Amino acid sequence: MKTKNLFISGLIGLFASCSSQNCKIEGTVENAKDGDTLYLARMSDGNFTPTDTIILHQGKFTLQEKCDSTIIASFFFYDQESNEVYSNIFFMEKGNIQLNIGPEGRVSGTENNDIYQEITDSIYALHERMSNIYARQAPSDTAEYSPDEKTEQELVALEQQSNRFVTESVKKYIDKPVGYFLFLSCYNMFTPQEVLELSQKVSSHYKNSNALKYIKEDAERSNMTSNGQSFIDITIPSMDGGELKLSDIIRDNKLTLVDCWASWCGPCRAEMPNVVSLYEKYHKKGLEIVGISFDEDETTWKNAVKTMNMTWPQASELRSWDNIMTQKYGVTSIPYTILIDSNGTIIGQQLRGEELENTVKQYVSSQKLAID
């Protein structure tokens, strides 16, 4: 790790000749004292490695380097007064970059940094609206709070708006370093096929990265359980203390819905009334649901099942993400549904609400089963 006295570096920079490939970073750090340390890390294959220790003077620093290509980087600063750690992403590239480090850090000055700041501003604005809604509703005297149905739907709508904005930004900027970084951060928001398509559009600079290779392999693995493929059998601990084998459920029913959820997942809770309604309408017509929880706490899981009137078979390994559904089916976000017909063929995934009910209704109709 390099240590740089940036007061000296700044003086040297005054006499250095300008180059089209120079990257000049000027920054201010709130509440910094002379001699405080700023750490700089650079990303390689999806991981950040500390590379520079920067000694601050009067809360300011200047860094000037050659930049033949854009480097995705991050800074870390510990504010001793507030006991807070400030960190953020920025892009080291040719041009003049301005970093303002503190509770409301900002970066600007070059193409990728300006795009990244614009995206983060929009996301933070949506999250601030969510926080304000939650703060208005949550009682101040308790650490645990479940918002009412109307509030929860409002929060879910904002979360979905935020997710749409992120995915649209990835698609728009996928050929730039900022788009590549966002893609690495949220590839689980896309279908496996979308991941493979976007992987082909990243900058040639990242085509052979191990991080991109991992994402593509994960998407290809998920494609093995895409629509039209045969289901993969799993055995998982059931809520009654026994074991649930998926093939047994599929064998005994005309249609099986695997519903991955968790009590801590807001969108899952908002969607659950639709799943309950679906079960009430179609269970006697041949539909069975298997709830697979990503909860880690058994009591919280069981209480949520009871509270939300989930009367179908329930199972869980009591592991959040390192579980059989992430390993076998490539599930990277919840709620996540998998619809399987009586032949064990996957006929739908990630279906919710009206789309889910229409798919079930269409299948029931095609099988000439009784419909009310």
Q: Flag whether pLDDT at 54 surpasses 70.
A: yes
**pLDDT for res 239:** 92
Lowest-pLDDT range of 77-81, 162-166, 192-196, 359-363: 77-81
For residues 17-31, average pLDDT: 76
**pLDDT for res 102:** 87
Output the six-digit token pair for 186.
């949220």
**pLDDT for res 144:** 55
CA neighbours closer than 13 Å in the CB half-sphere of residue 14: 5
Dihedral of the CA atoms 344, 349, 353, 357 (nearest 10)?
-30
Q: Evaluate whether 119 touches 182 at the Cβ level (below 8 Å).
A: yes
pLDDT tens digits for range 111-124 = 999 999 999 999 99
**pLDDT for res 33:** 87
CB-CB neighbours of 251 under 10 Å: 11
pLDDT tens digits for range 281-311 = 999 999 999 999 999 999 999 999 999 999 9
pLDDT tens digits for range 148-170 = 777 778 888 888 899 999 999 99
For residues 53-76, average pLDDT: 90
**pLDDT for res 282:** 92
Q: Flag whether pLDDT at 258 surpasses 60.
A: yes
> 353 vs 147, which has greater pLDDT?
353
Question: What is the model's pTM?
Answer: 0.62
Phi, psi of 65, deg, nearest 5: -145, 165
End-to-end Cα spacing for the chain: 71
Q: Evaluate whether 330 touches 338 at the Cβ level (below 8 Å).
A: no
Q: Evaluate whether 82 touches 76 at the Cβ level (below 8 Å).
A: no
For residues 134-161, average pLDDT: 72
Dist CA 360 CA 254 (whole Å): 11
CA dihedral sign, ordered 268, 271, 277, 281: negative
Q: Flag whether pLDDT at 369 surpasses 60.
A: no
For residues 207-214, average pLDDT: 90
Q: For residue 368, what pLDDT band results from cuts at 50, 70 and 90?
A: low
Lowest-pLDDT range of 173-182, 251-260, 328-337: 328-337
**pLDDT for res 253:** 92
**pLDDT for res 301:** 94
